[in-house]
Amino acid sequence: MDVTRQPTRRDVARGVAAIAAASAVACPSIAQSAARVVVIGGGFGGASCARALRRLDAALRITLIEPKRTFTACPFSNEVIAGLRGMAAQQFTYDKIVAEGVTVIAQAAMTVDPQVRAVGLADGNILAYDRLVLAPGIDLRFDALPGYDEAASARMPHAWQAGEQTMLLREQLEAMDDGGVVVLAVPAAPLRCPPAPYERASLIAHFLKARKPRSKVLVLDAKDGFPQQRLFENAWKELYPGMIERIALSQGGRVISVDPATNTIVTDFGNYAAQVANVIPPQKAGRIAGIAGAADNTGWCPINPATFESKLVPNIHVIGDACIAGQIPKSASAAHAQARACAAAVVNLISGKSTDMPRLNGACYNTVAPGYAFSLSGIYQPKDGQFAEVEGSTSAVDAPREVRRQEAENAQTWFRTITVDAFG
């Protein structure tokens, strides 16, 4: 496999022929002259975008490139870690998307050449595009935290991309002795799903309280504040008194290195020996975004918020966690809203129509125990070249338990709705 080879014009012609044949099988009614949209990444952003494109324009030739045949969702994966949910409930296939006339190619995209508008696949084939949507999610920065590389993640799981890592953390919690310390290392912003580390700390405490009640959760945090902090801290006092300790940035919580051989986590103020070490490293846009030239020196992809078109590379749009989108958090909810707005913009650009200003809804639920959740939601619109929050709300700090129970049900409904919309 030649992963560095750049596509030539001849490759492009060959790739076009290959994909034209594939498209003809998937959707025979599509005209040969129809515009070609390639979507890289079949997660919440990419899968939602491919389906939205199909709904908006039956003539488009849409190809979704995603190496995994089954997608494993991160939302609710903290419940899998805590033993409250099976992994099967997190997994989705692309069958419905294929049935709707999207060509799904089970390969990784390895190269993007914006000059000839072509994507190179792992098997050497080349796909030509008129518009390319990048939705590759995140990559973990295995070079950012001394001691923490890919090999270390087999001992100190991040579980920040759901799947094997989720199960590894689950197994380590099952295996640990009562009385041990679970250390959760949280990086500085920006990160995928900013409240999720605290949801995880809560649900791990729930597991420990029932199964290993002498154990503790220690959160070492490279930030001082975090979303819905009062709600989390009140819930910790109420549900898990004395079980969760958090050391914030200004108290010396920033992790500066790790030693996987001894499961030690090092901060400026001391070393912590963990029985289970859940190390969430700094992150960046999925690697293909950098290869395409769409990521800047922050590692993320700046976009024009009206169309999601890259500020760095023409004809490439970036959605989901990979883009820098102002005040919108990196969440499945945001990726899904961005996907639909981006699909509308792409269809308008292809047909030469003007694009409406997007107005995106985002909602996030945090579950701290079964039947106990709270939420925050926002509406985001373009302002000064970024997305700004124009409306926002958060659960009341003093709401009764009945409201928390209702929010836990709403969270389940949210997950069902978003996954049906993304994957069918």
List the one residue from 30, 112, 127, 135 that touches ligand FAD (CB under 6 A): 135
C-alpha span between 290 and 301 (Å, rounded):
8
Q: At closest approach, how far in Å is the CB of 59 from ligand FAD?
A: 24
161/267 with CB nearer ligand FAD: 161
List the one residue from 12, 26, 169, 196 that touches ligand FAD (CB under 6 A): 196
Q: Binding to ligand FAD by residue 392, rule CB under 6 A?
A: no
Q: At closest approach, how far in Å is the CB of 413 from ligand FAD?
A: 13
CA dist 51 → 60, 273, 295, 339, 416 (Å): 11, 47, 25, 9, 17
Do 410 and 375 form a contact (C-beta atoms < 8 A)? Answer: yes
Q: Binding to ligand FAD by residue 160, rule CB under 6 A?
A: yes
Q: Binding to ligand FAD by residue 40, rule CB under 6 A?
A: yes
List the one residue from 37, 109, 265, 276 that touches ligand FAD (CB under 6 A): 109
First to last CA, the chain: 33
List the one residue from 14, 68, 141, 211 that touches ligand FAD (CB under 6 A): 68
Nearest partner of 95 among 47, 61, 24, judged by Cα: 47
Q: At closest approach, how far in Å is the CB of 387 from ligand FAD?
A: 15
Stretch that binds ligand FAD, among 182-190, 252-260, 328-336, 351-359 (CB under 6 A): 328-336
Tokens of 385: 């070249």
Q: Is residue 200 classed as helix, strand or coil in its secondary structure? A: helix
Contact letters (x/-) for ligand FAD, 263-302, by CB under 6 A?
A: -----------------------x-x--------------
266/415 with CB nearer ligand FAD: 415
List the one residue from 215, 263, 333, 395 that touches ligand FAD (CB under 6 A): 333
26/325 with CB nearer ligand FAD: 325
Tokens of 403: 């409201």
Residues 6+ apart with CB under 8 A from 27: 61, 101, 102, 103
> Which pairs with CB-CB distance under 8 Å and at least 24 residues apart come from 73-77?
73/44, 73/162, 73/332, 73/415, 73/419, 74/160, 74/161, 74/162, 74/192, 74/193, 74/196, 74/332, 75/193, 75/332, 75/415, 75/418, 76/415, 77/159, 77/162, 77/166
List the one residue from 15, 42, 194, 299 that touches ligand FAD (CB under 6 A): 42
For residue 149, report the phi and psi dihedrals to the nearest 5 degrees: -120, -170
Q: At closest approach, how far in Å is the CB of 245 from ligand FAD?
A: 20
Nearest partner of 104 among 19, 2, 29, 45, judged by Cα: 19
List the one residue from 35, 38, 60, 74 that touches ligand FAD (CB under 6 A): 74
Stretch that binds ligand FAD, among 12-20, 22-30, 224-232, 325-333 (CB under 6 A): 325-333
Q: At closest approach, how far in Å is the CB of 150 from ligand FAD?
A: 15
Residue pointed to by tokens 């003539």: 59
Q: Is the peptide bond before 305 cis (omega within 30 degrees of 0)?
A: no
> Which residue has the CB atom at the shortest distance from ligand FAD?
43
List the one residue from 11, 66, 221, 259 that touches ligand FAD (CB under 6 A): 66
Instruction: Compute CA 408 distance to the chain's CA centroid, rounded to the nearest angstrom.
Output: 21
Q: For the chain, what's the residue count?
A: 424
Stretch that binds ligand FAD, among 2-10, 169-177, 258-266, 330-338 (CB under 6 A): 330-338
Q: Binding to ligand FAD by residue 37, rule CB under 6 A?
A: no
40/222 with CB nearer ligand FAD: 40
Q: At closest approach, how far in Å is the CB of 327 from ligand FAD?
A: 15
Residues 6+ apart with CB under 8 A from 284: 138, 139, 141, 290, 295, 298, 299, 300
Stretch that binds ligand FAD, among 23-31, 189-197, 245-253, 394-402 (CB under 6 A): 189-197
What's the DSSP call for residue 180? -
Nearest partner of 257 among 207, 299, 222, judged by Cα: 222
Q: Binding to ligand FAD by residue 7, rule CB under 6 A?
A: no
Helices (H), 102-181: 164-175
Stretch that binds ligand FAD, among 2-10, 63-71, 256-264, 304-312 (CB under 6 A): 63-71
C-alpha span between 29 and 412 (Å, rounded):
38
Residues that bind ligand FAD (CB under 6 A): 40-46, 65-68, 71, 74-75, 77-78, 108-109, 135-137, 160, 192-193, 196, 286, 288, 320-322, 330-333, 335, 364-365
